[in-house]
Structure 1
Amino acid sequence: MTVTVGVDVGPTSTDAVLLDDTRPVAAVKVPSRPGDAIGSLVAAVEELPAGVRARAVTLAVGLRVAARAVTERSGLAQVGVLRIGGAAADTVRPLFGWPEELRAAVCAGVANVAGGSGLAPLDGAPLDEAAVAAFGAGLAGRAEAFAVSSVFSPADGAQERAAARILRERAGPDVPVLLSGEIGALGLIQRENATVLDAALCVLVARVADELTAALPGLGLAPGAGVLVTRHDGTLMSLDYLRRQPGLSLGSGPACTLRGAGLLAGVGDAVVVDVGERRARVGVLSGGYPREAAPGEHIGGVPVILRFPDLLTVDAAAHRDIAEAADRMQPAAGRLPVVLVGGGAHRVPDAALPGCDVVRPEHGDVAGAFGAAASPVGGSCERIVRRPDALDAVRDEVRELARAGAVRAGADPRRVRTVLDPEEYVPYLPGAVLLRARASGPPAPL
Structure 2
Amino acid sequence: MSTYRIGIDVGGTNTDAAILNESLTCIATAKVPTTDDVFGGVRAAIDHLLSETGIAARDIGLAMLGTTHCTNAIVERKRLLRVGLLRLAGPASASVPPLANWPADLAAAVTLKWKIVGGGYEYDGRILTRLVEDEIRAAVRDWRGRIDAVAVCGVFSNINSEQECLVEQWILDELGPIPITLSHRIGSLGFLPRENASILNAALGDVIGDVISGFANALKATGLDHVRAMIGQNDGTLMSAEAARAFPVLTIGCGPTNSLKGAAFLSGRKDAIVVDVGGTTADIGMLSKGFPRQSALAVDIGGVRTNFRMPDIISLAVGGGTVITADSKGEPVIGPQSVGYRLTSEAMVFGGKTLTLTDVSSVLGVGLSIGNRFPDVPTSFCRAAFESVLKRLATGVDRIKTSAAPLPVILVGGGSALFPDRIDGTDEVIRPANFGAANAIGVAIGDVSGEVDRIVAMRDDVREQTLASLRDEAIQSAVLAGADPSTVEVLEQEDVPLSYLPGNATRIRFKVAGRLISRA
TM range (shorter): over 0.9
**Equivalent residues in 2 for 1:127-166 (5 A)?**
127-166=131-170
Q: How far, CA to CA, are the matches of 2:19 and 2:31 in structure 1?
A: 12
Task: Give 1:438's aligned residue.
Answer: 511
Q: Which runs of 5+ in 2 are unaligned?
A: 319-385
* 2:428 is the counterpart of 1:369: no
**For 1:283, what is the secondary structure of its paired residue?**
strand
The amino acid of 1:233's aligned partner reads D
Q: Contact conserved, 2:38 with 2:214, CA < 8 A, in 1?
A: no
CA offsets per residue over residues 356-386 of structure 1, 9 Å max, x none? Answer: 3321101111110111111212222211224
1:424–1:324: structure 2 CA closer, same or farther, 3 Å change rule?
farther
RMSD over aligned Cα atoms: 2.1
Match of 1:200 in 2: 203
Where does residue 218 of structure 1 map in the other structure? 221
Shift of 1:49: 2.9
How many angstroms does 1:425 deviate by?
A: 4.2
2:478 to 406, 415, 420: 406
Shift of 1:304: 0.8
What is the CA distance between 1:349 and its match in structure 2? 2.9
> Residue 350 of structure 2 aligns with which residue?
none
Measured after TM superposition, the shift of residue 160 of structure 1 is: 0.7
Shift of 1:314: 2.6
CA contact (8 A) 2:421 2:430 kept: no
Q: Which AA in structure 1 matches 2:14?
A: S
Q: How does 1:341-352 map onto structure 2 within 5 Å?
A: 341-352=412-423
Question: Does 2:488 match 1:416?
Answer: yes
Q: Distance in 2 between matches of 1:311 and 1:198?
A: 22
For 1:353, give the aligned amino acid.
D
Amino acid at match of 1:311: I
Query: Partners in 1 of 2:83 and 2:157 — Cα distance?
Result: 20
CA contact (8 A) 2:17 2:437 kept: yes
Residues 1:392 and 2:464 aligned together: yes
2 CA distance for matches of 1:379 and 1:253?
20
- Of 278-287 and 5-14, deviating more is 278-287
Match of 2:373 in 1: none
Letter in 1 for 2:417: H
Aligned to 1:381: 452
Distance in structure 2 (CA, Å) of the matches to 1:424 and 1:337? 35
Corresponding residue for residue 382 of structure 2: none
User: How far apart, in 2, do the equivalents of 1:361 and 1:351 lie?
Assistant: 14
**Number of residues of Structure 1 aligned to a counterpart in Structure 2:** 443
Q: TM-score, with normalisation over the residues of structure 1?
A: 0.93
Say which SS state the counterpart of residue 228 (structure 1) adopts: strand
- The one-character-per-residue Cα deviations of 1:171-217 (angstroms, maximum 9, x if unpaired) are 11x11111101124121100000011111112331243233223322
* 1:210/1:314 CA distance change after superposition, 3 Å: closer
Tell me, in whole angstroms, the C-alpha distance in 1 between the residues paired with 2:458 and 2:238. Answer: 34
2:125–2:156 Cα contact (<8 Å) kept: no
- Alignment equivalent of 1:329, drawn from 400, 407, 410: 400
TM-score by length of structure 2 reads: 0.81
Partner of 1:5: 6
Instruction: Report the Cα distance in structure 2 between the residues aligned to 1:279 and 1:216, rounded to whole angstroms.
Output: 28
Q: Offset of 1:443 from its aligned partner?
A: 1.7
Give how far 1:265 is off: 0.5
SS at match of 2:501: coil
Letter paired with 1:344:
G
- Deviation string 1:232-272 (CA, Å, 9 cap, x unpaired) is 01111110110121111000111111101110101233211
Tell me which moved more, 114-123 or 163-172: 114-123
Between the aligned partners of 1:370 and 1:418, the Cα distance in structure 2 is 23
Amino acid aligned to 1:283: G
CA contact (8 A) 1:261 1:341 kept: yes
How far off is 1:78 after superposition? 1.0
User: What is the SS of the residue equivalent to 2:108?
Assistant: helix
Aligned to 1:97: 101
The residue number in structure 2 matching 1:276 is: 278
Distance 1:151 1:111 in 2: 14
Match in the other structure for 2:121: 117
Distance (whole Å) between structure 2 residues aligned to residue 344 and residue 184 of structure 1 = 35
Equivalent in the alignment of 1:250: 252
Deviates further, 361-370 or 176-185: 176-185
Counterparts of 1:384 and 1:121 in 2: how far apart (Å)? 9
User: Which secondary structure does the structure 1 equivalent of 2:151 belong to?
Assistant: strand
Q: Is 1:293–2:295 an aligned residue pair? A: yes
Deviations 1:369-421 (A, max 9, x none): 11111121222221122435354333223322322332343323343222342
Pairing 1:221-232 to 2, within 5 Å after superposition: 221=224, 224-232=226-234
Call closer, same or farther: CA 1:406–1:89 in 2, change over 3 Å: same
Question: 1:195 corresponds to which letter in structure 2?
Answer: S
Percent identity, aligned pairs only?
A: 36
Q: Which structure is larger by alpha-carbon Rg, 1 or 2?
A: 2
Instruction: Give 1:333 shift.
Output: 7.3
